[in-house]
Amino acid sequence: MIEVKNISKVFKLPHEKHKTFFHKLTGTLRSSFRYEEFYALNNVSFNVNQGEFLGVVGRNGSGKTTLLRIIAGIYKPTSGVVNVNEIMNTFLEIGVGFQSDFTCRENVYINGALLGFSRKEMDKRFSDILHFAELEKFADAKLIHLSSGMQVRLAFSIAMQVDAPIFLVDEIFAVGDNPFQQKCKKLFWEYKRQGKTVLFVSHDLDSILEYCDRVVILENGVLVKQGTPSETIAYYTKEVLKK
Amino acid sequence: MQNGKYLKSTIADKFSVIRKSLFILREFALTDFRLKYHDSALGYLWSMFNPIAQFVVLHFVFSYLFVVQVPKFTFYLLSGIVFWNFFFDATLSGMNAIHSKASITKKIYFPRDLIIFSASATALISFAINTTLLWLVIIAFDHFSFIQFLMIIPFISIVLLAMGISFILSTLYIYFRDTMQIWLVCLTVGFWLTPIVYNALTAPLPLQTVALYNPVGRILIMLRAFFVYENLPSIEFMISTAAICLIVFVVGYFIFNKHSHQITEYL
């Protein structure tokens, strides 16, 4: 279960960006630090219950990614708390740490380590990963020699091998060709059947309707509505997207 | 594929966090080490080319042009260069790593100090190889004695010192991008304020004072005592030097961890 309580995140947008000592010195002489406060998230609270697929929708810049980053521990919230009672795995992006100069095999281990797996544990999963990605023939090919679609498939397959009760997922569905997408869909239904808790951010309203049990809408950092997928998506298309 | 139970029991405790950190540390360090020498014909040998050239030039200049009165100057200079080069690499690699790993920190959570630990580990691989070679050279061309094993003290001291400084510089680097340029100047000046080519104890007084207050200088004095001259410096000297390095490391570590969450927001 994920519990999000009164989360706010303020970014300070400086009027002048001081990146170097020199700028800082001259900038301080000219004007003291002036910045605007920007609320990326403003007092957001919600829960994701055990075994629930919760969808998060919102326009670009509405705070979805900031929210995921806070839950994942990447950002510190300005105020509020997040409680996560079980092991969580985050997929804000897949294929983190990939080195294009290295082979598929080496990248599987690098990415695996970032997801918390030792070399030994990855050895056991290695053939499954390449099989799912349909890249058995390319195990020792350098990543740059693979097409971008193949690279994404590899990344996605590694991600699929991670088993945790909670997943944070940021828009990783539109991957690969049609048959591969079908495989991914099957796997997600399998997760749903196993009762995994998933927080799912997407712009693809169809997949939100397909998988989610409940949906929250973010608008300019504020949680404006939560409820069943059909009613929230209807509200979202009518009220939020029309503005 | 399904072993949730296993994961649950391991992530739950602190031990497994450390265990997982070690996987990441290993992959980061080896990746960086391999990337550094990737696709070059001579590979690792290149990393030795620069210190050797440095050694040959300095040896020539200070043996023939401006003669320094240092007994066993060849080994004296060689050991100084190996240790100084590690200090140089390790302190710079921390800032480089912060820069190159900033994008990963936006995508996944892992303890941020791993960035510095792995950068130092990469430098440490070369350092360990070079120190071993240095030792073999000394044994082959000079002498062997059991006192030489004590060089583990200056070895560990300089690793702690370099990591501590790396933590501090990397913290500054998050906020000020020109920390790197300033530190490069400090290193250039530092090379001559450290007894690498001259003897600290016979140098003119102001230089002697600087060399003795400079932790790298103290480490080098210890190193040569064990490695080259086979005489022991005073216990106080050894303990105080090691203690300074440990303090720098601990202070640097805490400073970095206090600010490390800003990496994602500032870089």
Tens digits of per-residue pLDDT, B68-109? 888 888 999 999 999 999 999 999 999 999 988 888 888 888
Q: What is the mean pLDDT of chain A?
A: 84
pLDDT at B9: 41
Q: Token pair of B8, please?
A: 């649950």
Q: Given pLDDT bands bounded at 50, 70 and 90, which one contains residue B202?
A: confident
Q: Given pLDDT bands bounded at 50, 70 and 90, which one contains residue B161?
A: very high
Sign, CA dihedral A122-A128-A133-A139, equals positive
Nearest chain A alpha carbon to B18: A116
pLDDT at A174: 62
Contact B178 A76 (CB under 8 A): no
Q: What is the mean pLDDT of chain B?
A: 87
Write down the number of H helices and E strands in chain B: 11, 0
CB nearest to B27's CB, from A21, A93, A110? A110
> Is the pLDDT score of B212 beyond 80?
yes
d(CA B97, CA B182): 17
CB half-sphere exposure, A195, CA atoms < 13 A: 4
- Cα distances (angstroms) measured from residue A72 to each of A46, A75, A214, B208: 15, 8, 20, 52
CB nearest to B7's CB, from A69, A87, A125? A87
Q: Could you tell me what percent of chain B has a pLDDT over 90?
A: 47
Residue A86 with chain B: CB contacts under 8 Å:
8
Region A52-57: mean pLDDT is: 91
pLDDT at B163: 96
CB atoms near residue B30 (< 10 Å): 17
Contact A75 B27 (CB under 8 A): no
- How far away is chain A from the Cα of B94, in angstroms, using its nearest Cα? 18
CB atoms near residue A77 (< 10 Å): 21
Residue B109 with chain A: CB contacts under 8 Å:
72-74, 90
Region A186-210: mean pLDDT is: 85
Query: Cα-flanking dihedrals φ and ψ of residue B99, to 5°?
Result: -65, -50
> Is the pLDDT score of A18 beyond 70?
no
Q: Given pLDDT bands bounded at 50, 70 and 90, which one contains residue B12?
A: low
Contact B24 A128 (CB under 8 A): no
Q: Given pLDDT bands bounded at 50, 70 and 90, which one contains residue B35?
A: confident
Residue A11 with chain B: CB contacts under 8 Å:
265
> Is the pLDDT score of A27 beyond 70?
no
CB nearest to B176's CB, from A24, A110, A117? A24
Per-residue pLDDT tens digits for A30-39:
555 567 788 8
pLDDT at A12: 80
Region B23-45: mean pLDDT is: 81
pLDDT-wise least confident of A138-147, A229-238, B37-46, B154-163: B37-46
Region A93-101: mean pLDDT is: 84
> Is the pLDDT score of A52 beyond 70?
yes
Region B220-246: mean pLDDT is: 90
Mutate which of B13, B27, B117 to test chain A, going by most A C-beta atoms within 10 A? Answer: B27
pTM summary value: 0.85
d(CA B24, CA A112): 9
H or E segment and range at residue A5: strand A2-14
Query: Tell me, what amino acid is at B248?
Result: V
- How far away is chain A from the Cα of B93, in angstroms, using its nearest Cα? 18
> Is the pLDDT score of B10 beyond 50?
no
Chain A residues touching chain B at CB-CB below 8 Å: 11, 19-22, 24, 69, 72-76, 86-87, 90, 92-93, 96-97, 99, 101-102, 109-110, 112-119, 125, 128, 161, 163-165
